[in-house]
Amino acid sequence: MKLFTKGARPLAALLAATLLTAAPSFAGDTHATASATVSAAKICAQPNYAVREYAAVIEKTKKEQPELAEALRLFPKGADLHNHLSGTVQPEKYLALGAADGACYGPQGTTTPYTIEAATSSGRCGDGFRALSEASAGDRERILQSLSMYRFGYPDTQSGHDHFFNTFARFRAVSDNACNTPAMLAEVLRQSQRDGVSYLETMLSFQSSAVSALARQLKQQFPVQASYRDSRQFPALQRFLLQAGLGDTVAAARTEIAQYVNKTRTLLNCGSPDTDAACGVDYAFIVTVNRTSSLADGTPDLAKVFTQAAFSMLLASSEERVVGVNLLSKEDAPVSLAGFQDQMRIFGYFHEAFPKVNMALHAGELTPCFVGADNPALKEHLTGTLKAGARRIGHGVSFAFLKDKEKSEVADLFRHNNALVEVMFTSNAQILGIAGSAHPFAQYRAYGVPVAFASDDEGVSHANFTDEWIYGVQKYGLTRDDLQYLGRNSLQYSFMTGAPLWADVAQGKAVEACSADVPGSATPSVRCASFLKQSAKAAAQWDYEARLKEYWQKYGRFFGKR
């Protein structure tokens, strides 16, 4: 397992039998025009038909074409570029970790969903809470439902959206315990290996308490909000943070990362005779900034965003195992919408200050259902993020709701910046109620925008990465060449170090140094071998081509001729 830097229960488990009733189908036009995006008001008021349709496609494939489903599980998927570590761990694992921690479970306020909390210093559970290790089978079932989309009923789009985001707080007592991070990472690597992933970039925050303390000091020194909206003031803010100990916090994070890596290797027995197959999955970290940070009055806490960005960029620039920075959390939250322009100004500043640090930002995880049909955020969250320096966009669903002229403008910007869209069908269906012809996946391809599949939050979704590929094949008629393109793209746009192997992924054109070679061959030319030796990314891509060749020989019959 080099460090560069979903084996869950079936999707059917996340739906009760009532969800498998007849529902409107989104099958058909794979080029998905604006006419496919029905009235936002109707979407929000209806049951989440997207999840019903999505789940039905996957379950039908697994039931009627099990060999195809298994072939797609084994397909070499390249990289998983959009993966939240805490959201990827399955809730069953959180129950086991929490029970080992002596954690407790109980109702969330006066509502029925359960939440997990740490025991008191004396080891006792708070009022109304019970030891997680003693939970009955019935309570365990309800806890799983509280921590994920498992058996969620999807009465409407809004409720699925809210339940998805609310789950994170319910398992935070376990996921935020640094002692559990190596076990979580080991589990996610196992899931990745089962789903044919060879390289993983997973999102995680580091030294959260120390970074928050620095943010409080910054607010005390610069209490006026205008300081965080004027880029001319940013150098002074950055200097203050450095003087206040930002460098020490980064050093502590690097130590923390080394500990996580070493403990994960131990848990997986890497390098020993009984090494876990997950040790073969290479991985790196993406450090995160929270876009929903707010002050007591609900307005954006720009000082905290600035501090998190300053910390993240400095860490990514000095720690080889951290290969990028991401801005995450609920994009349609009022505080996120209100703070977007200021956040992009902050990220734009740090992109200029740290031009070699990669950014892969969440953007366009919006629909008119949540922000209104004429909200400029549908477009501006895409263009603003790209202009701030993002090399990858997570989700990008709002593209489907733009007018043709706006789509052309956004697509031109994607192509000009050579930026990729990370596509996640499962969470888009669960959170946004978008699937099939209403999803912009085919539109992006028609506009020549690079795309790749990613997993997002397999644990919260209670799904696995292979489902994304099954759905892609069955819903969009993806061919062997399409699958190959998506897998190659994921590595091409990864943040691994070095120059990429492909000069043009879509055309299958290698860089000049390897243009006379057969990609993946055991005996590359001297010139190509020298190039591969100098680039970790190109070397990984070369290995991927060898895996692809072997795969097509065994399973190519499922996907027709080239």
**Both tokens of residue 420?**
């990729």
Q: Which of 313, 334, 358 is the last residue of a domain?
A: 358
Are 403 and 290 found together in one domain? no
28 pLDDT above the threshold of 60:
no
The per-residue b/e assignment along 525-545, b for 16 or more CB within 10 angstroms, e otherwise, is eeebbebbeebbbbbbbbbbb
Give the per-residue pLDDT at 122. Answer: 87
Of the listed ranges 9-18, 280-289, 440-449, the least confidently predicted one is: 9-18
556 pLDDT above the threshold of 70:
yes
In the DSSP assignment, the letter for residue 299 is S
Give the E-state strand segments of 90-196 in sequence order: 104-107, 114-117, 130-131
Of the listed ranges 16-20, 76-80, 262-266, 545-549, the least confidently predicted one is: 16-20
107: confidence class by pLDDT, cuts 50, 70, 90: confident
Residue at 167 is within a domain? no
Residue at 53 is within a domain? yes
Give the per-residue pLDDT at 35. Answer: 36
Residue 195 domain boundaries: 177-358
Are 282 and 395 found together in one domain? no
Burial class (CB in 10 A: 0-12, 13-18, 19+), 507: exposed
Give the per-residue pLDDT at 117. Answer: 95
22 pLDDT above the threshold of 60:
no
Q: What mean pLDDT is predicted for residues 420-440?
A: 97
Are 184 and 330 found together in one domain? yes
Q: What mean pLDDT is predicted for residues 55-61?
A: 97
Residue at 259 is within a domain? yes
Give the per-residue pLDDT at 20. Answer: 30
32: confidence class by pLDDT, cuts 50, 70, 90: very low
Give the per-residue pLDDT at 215. Answer: 98
Q: What is the pLDDT of residues 62-84, one digit of tens each?
A: 999 999 999 999 999 999 999 99
Are 230 and 134 found together in one domain? no
Are 448 and 537 found together in one domain? no
Are 524 and 434 found together in one domain? no
Beta-carbon contacts of 59 under 8 Å, excluding residues fewer than 6 positions away, are 10, 11, 12, 20
Give the per-residue pLDDT at 560. Answer: 74
Higher pLDDT, 402 or 122: 402
**CA distance between the termini of the chain:** 33
Give the per-residue pLDDT at 47. Answer: 81
Give the per-residue pLDDT at 1. Answer: 65
**CA 524 – CA 502 distance, rounded (Å):** 15
Are 200 and 327 found together in one domain? yes
In the chain, the number of structural domains is 4
Q: What is the pLDDT of residues 304-321, one digit of tens each?
A: 999 999 999 999 999 999
Beta-carbon contacts of 515 under 8 Å, excluding residues fewer than 6 positions away, are 509
In the DSSP assignment, the letter for residue 300 is B
Comparing CA positions, the residue from 507, 547, 463, 518 lying closest to residue 197 is 547
Are 200 and 214 found together in one domain? yes
Are 338 and 423 found together in one domain? no
Are 344 and 435 found together in one domain? no
Burial class (CB in 10 A: 0-12, 13-18, 19+), 119: middle
Are 81 and 102 found together in one domain? no
Q: Which of 358, 385, 417 is the last residue of a domain?
A: 358
Residue at 231 is within a domain? yes
Q: What is the pLDDT of residues 342-396, one digit of tens each?
A: 999 999 999 999 999 999 999 999 999 999 998 999 999 999 999 999 999 999 9
Give the per-residue pLDDT at 18. Answer: 27
Of the listed ranges 3-7, 226-230, 424-428, the least confidently predicted one is: 3-7
Percent of the chain with pLDDT over 90: 88
Residue at 245 is within a domain? yes
Are 328 and 379 found together in one domain? no
29: confidence class by pLDDT, cuts 50, 70, 90: very low
Residue at 483 is within a domain? yes
Residue at 47 is within a domain? yes
561: confidence class by pLDDT, cuts 50, 70, 90: low
Q: Which of 299, 328, 358 is the last residue of a domain?
A: 358
Residue at 103 is within a domain? yes
